[in-house]
Chain A
Amino acid sequence: MAAKAKKTSSLGFVLKPMKRTGATVYKSLIAGRPNTILYPYQKLDLPPTYRGKHTLDFKRCIGCSNCVQICPNDCMWMEKLEDPELGKIERPGVDLGRCLFCGLCVEVCPTVALHETGEFELADPDRAKLKFGPKELRDDTYADKIVEERQKRSVPVLDLDKCTGCEKCAGECPEMCIAMEQIEGVGKKKPEINLPKCTACGKCVVVCPEKALTMKDMYESYFDMPEPKFILKNCTGCQACAKACPADAIYMMDMPGTEKVLKDGKKGKPKKRAVFVLEKCVGCGKCFRACKFQAIEMPGVRK
């Protein structure tokens, strides 16, 4: 409890704080450097990273529902729509009354279709007006206007329908990152690309005789997404997963040798199976939810 304060005379107790206050008054009132702005008339500049109301680019969005799944407050939902240009599509909507503005939906988006703008004046006495469906969020030009922060990467993308399994790409790859994998039951091979090792040299694309491989710019994901595991013996070839897949990563292939002999002696159509091209997979789990026969497993994903 010893005396600690700086020794100040009783006059200093008055004059020192007064001097500081006077300086501030001079600065803001006389020198014309005010500390505040007239808010509704003047506005501060917001940084480009600011997280406000969402916008959605319909053309970029593939309808994978990753944003809906990562939302901590369940404030997003998928809506089925009919668009004159894009046909039957599924696009997310946001209930801003429940939104945390955490920005996880923007981060997880595999095609960077969802963005958060600098619009923050969203208060409304009516709660229902804070619910923004996909049509209200739509802004197809916003994503092209802003500077993108997410890193893009050029990777070879396989179209399995065209691929004949000729192994030329695997022979050409200088990094040895393409391995030919036998597709069980089909009797064909498909290239499996080890993306972390790929240097995007493009040699496999040049050498492909069927033009099945193309170089495509993909955004790098910051999240470890689950991968579907396929169980062949449960697959009935119903195509539900291929129809559900937003990234077109599932192909249906005939399995020769499984044709049933019909009554008139002719052979029927062969059984089909799903084949996954995991390089394209965005890890949304839609195939897992669509499959009614437990042929697809995704550990850690809830139905």
Chain B
Amino acid sequence: MAEMWINMGPQHPMTHGLWNLRIKVDGETIVDAEPVVGYLHRGIEKLAEARTYTQVIPITDRLCYGASLAWSHLYCTAAEDLMGVEVPERAEYLRVAALEMQRIASHLMWLAAYAADLGAMIGFIYSMRDREVFIDLLQALTGSRITYNYPRIGGVAHDAPPDFARDSLRACDYMEKKLKEYEDLYEGSKVFMLRNEGVGILSKEDAMNLGITGPSLRGSGVKCDVRKDMPYSVYPEMDFEAASHPDGDCYSRYRVRMDEMYQSCKIIRQAVTKMPAGKWRVVAPRNGPVGTGIGRVEDPRGEGMMYIVGDGTDRPYRLKIRSPIFVSVSAAPKLLVGYKVADVVAIMGGLDMCIGETDR
């Protein structure tokens, strides 16, 4: 039978954003694949060059709608590295608590999209309902629902609201109960398991060679987590494990994200109980020095990196953003070849695509 190219995207329910997956099919079987990204290029790296160090923070929030706090935190760590600013301890604990809430919210949004893709509409509704708990907490902490603009160079914008610790602990208890419910719903569902198990297998070697990071890499059995390997903020003082699963298929990546949510609940509990009193912000210098600053964090989607070059003025000379999904999506041919067209949704959905950060 003749082989043909199919464009899945840029307007396709599978893509979750603007990107195009071209697949070459022989009947039902995929023989080649090519991801095409760049539909959402806004030039954020260039925008940063025209703005002062403080003004860049709200722009970095727009990198990813699912995990905006992780990206503004990443920018702030890079800028603090450049300027040599010491962050007060309370600010670090507030940041870690907020980051882990953001991780849960981001994973729940992934779960919502993923379950809906695989035909379980109930998953979308349940996950979005429970995500609201954490969005409400973050809203009380930061003042906004999606684009938080919370970290600052040298601390965080606000102190925690009075009942923050109590509400966070309650939210964690609630979340752990709900996660058990999700496991019953999905792992108890034959359709969900049939579409996940043994689909989209990525071997350990391939995952490492392609530079994939985050849950997709840990789903292939590699215990690699920037929070553990290159600890930043107050993660060394937290007791948690980098979740990983050895099989490398879609179920494995799903399992890693579910385990990460348990771990995040654990970290939030520790962060809000250990949080010391004191200052939450120091004044950062207006002008950055001549030099470079680098920041690496474990984004919900993988390892994010930012590299800032300062030239002594109040604006960065260059800001380089390393997006985890830009790398992960390049593994599409490795993941897809040999599977059927119907598996594309499960395989690419399992990567947790976020086009905002991919195209920048």
A contact set with B: CB distance below 8 Å: 1-2, 4-6, 8, 10, 12-13, 16-17, 19-21, 24, 35, 46-51, 70-72, 100-104, 107, 116, 149, 221-226, 299-300
Shortest A300–chain B CB gap in Å is 5
Shortest A287–chain B CB gap in Å is 17
Partner of B283 from the list A8, A12, A221 (CB cut-off 8 Å) is A221
Shortest B76–chain A CB gap in Å is 13
Whether a CB of chain A sits under 8 angstroms from the CB of B140 is yes
Chain A contacts for B225, CB-based, 8 A = none
Partner of B54 from the list A13, A21, A104, A221 (CB cut-off 8 Å) is A104
Chain B contacts for A72, CB-based, 8 A = 51, 55-56, 58-59
A230 CA to B124 CA, complexed, in Å? 62
A103 near B281: Cβ-Cβ < 8 Å:
no
Minimal Cβ-Cβ distance residue in A for B143: A49
Minimal Cβ-Cβ distance residue in B for A220: B283
Whether a CB of chain A sits under 8 angstroms from the CB of B170 is no
Chain A contacts for B247, CB-based, 8 A = 1-2, 4
A107 near B157: Cβ-Cβ < 8 Å:
yes
Q: Would you give the 0/1 interface string for B141-152, flagging 1 where the beta carbon is closer than 8 Å to chain A?
A: 111100101001
Whether a CB of chain A sits under 8 angstroms from the CB of B287 is yes
Closest 5 CB pairs of A and B: A102-B58, A49-B143, A16-B188, A72-B55, A47-B140
Of B17-25, B193-201, B260-268, B351-359, the one contacting chain A is B193-201
Whether a CB of chain A sits under 8 angstroms from the CB of B117 is no
B313 near A300: Cβ-Cβ < 8 Å:
yes
Minimal Cβ-Cβ distance residue in B for A48: B161
B187 near A5: Cβ-Cβ < 8 Å:
yes
A223 near B54: Cβ-Cβ < 8 Å:
yes
Chain B contacts for A51, CB-based, 8 A = 143-144
Partner of A49 from the list B126, B158, B181 (CB cut-off 8 Å) is B158
B contact set with A: CB distance below 8 Å: 51-52, 54-59, 61, 122, 126, 129, 139-144, 147, 149, 152, 157-159, 161, 181, 184-185, 187-190, 193, 197-198, 201, 247, 249, 251-252, 281, 283-287, 313-314
Chain B contacts for A19, CB-based, 8 A = 184
Chain B contacts for A21, CB-based, 8 A = 122, 185
23 contacts between A and B (CB under 8 A): A1-B201, A1-B247, A1-B249, A4-B251, A5-B187, A10-B190, A13-B190, A16-B184, A24-B126, A46-B139, A49-B158, A49-B161, A51-B144, A100-B58, A102-B57, A102-B58, A102-B61, A104-B54, A104-B58, A116-B143, A149-B159, A222-B283, A224-B284
Chain A contacts for B249, CB-based, 8 A = 1
Known: A10-B190, A72-B59, A104-B54. 6 other contacts (CB 8 A): A5-B193, A12-B188, A49-B142, A70-B55, A102-B61, A224-B283
Shortest B167–chain A CB gap in Å is 11
A223 near B286: Cβ-Cβ < 8 Å:
yes
Shortest B81–chain A CB gap in Å is 17
B140 near A49: Cβ-Cβ < 8 Å:
yes
A47 near B143: Cβ-Cβ < 8 Å:
yes
Chain A contacts for B281, CB-based, 8 A = 222
Chain A contacts for B161, CB-based, 8 A = 47-49
If over half of A's interface residues share one DSSP class (helix, strand or loop), that class is named, otherwise mixed; here it is: loop
Chain B contacts for A17, CB-based, 8 A = 184-185, 188-189
B58 near A13: Cβ-Cβ < 8 Å:
no
Chain B contacts for A12, CB-based, 8 A = 188
Minimal Cβ-Cβ distance residue in A for B182: A20
A1 near B142: Cβ-Cβ < 8 Å:
no
Chain A contacts for B190, CB-based, 8 A = 10, 13
A47 near B139: Cβ-Cβ < 8 Å:
yes
Chain B contacts for A4, CB-based, 8 A = 197, 247, 251-252
A42 CA to B283 CA, complexed, in Å? 41
A225 near B286: Cβ-Cβ < 8 Å:
yes
A20 near B283: Cβ-Cβ < 8 Å:
no
Shortest A108–chain B CB gap in Å is 8
Minimal Cβ-Cβ distance residue in B for A3: B197
A20 with B184: in contact, given A107-B157, A224-B285 (CB under 8 Å)?
yes
A300 near B142: Cβ-Cβ < 8 Å:
no
A48 CA to B52 CA, complexed, in Å? 28
Partner of B188 from the list A13, A70, A103, A222 (CB cut-off 8 Å) is A13
B187 near A6: Cβ-Cβ < 8 Å:
yes
Shortest B72–chain A CB gap in Å is 10
A300 CA to B310 CA, complexed, in Å? 13
Partner of A103 from the list B140, B143, B189, B313 (CB cut-off 8 Å) is B143
Partner of A20 from the list B54, B185, B285 (CB cut-off 8 Å) is B185
A100 CA to B190 CA, complexed, in Å? 45
Partner of A35 from the list B59, B129, B252 (CB cut-off 8 Å) is B129
Chain A contacts for B201, CB-based, 8 A = 1
Shortest A280–chain B CB gap in Å is 18
Chain A contacts for B287, CB-based, 8 A = 299-300
A70 with B54: in contact, given A1-B247, A12-B188 (CB under 8 Å)?
yes
A226 CA to B52 CA, complexed, in Å? 13
A149 CA to B190 CA, complexed, in Å? 53
Shortest B73–chain A CB gap in Å is 15
Chain A contacts for B158, CB-based, 8 A = 49, 149
A102 near B188: Cβ-Cβ < 8 Å:
no
A50 with B187: in contact, given A1-B198, A100-B58, A103-B157 (CB under 8 Å)?
no
A299 CA to B312 CA, complexed, in Å? 11
Chain B contacts for A222, CB-based, 8 A = 152, 281, 283
A13 with B189: in contact, given A47-B143, A72-B58, A107-B157 (CB under 8 Å)?
yes
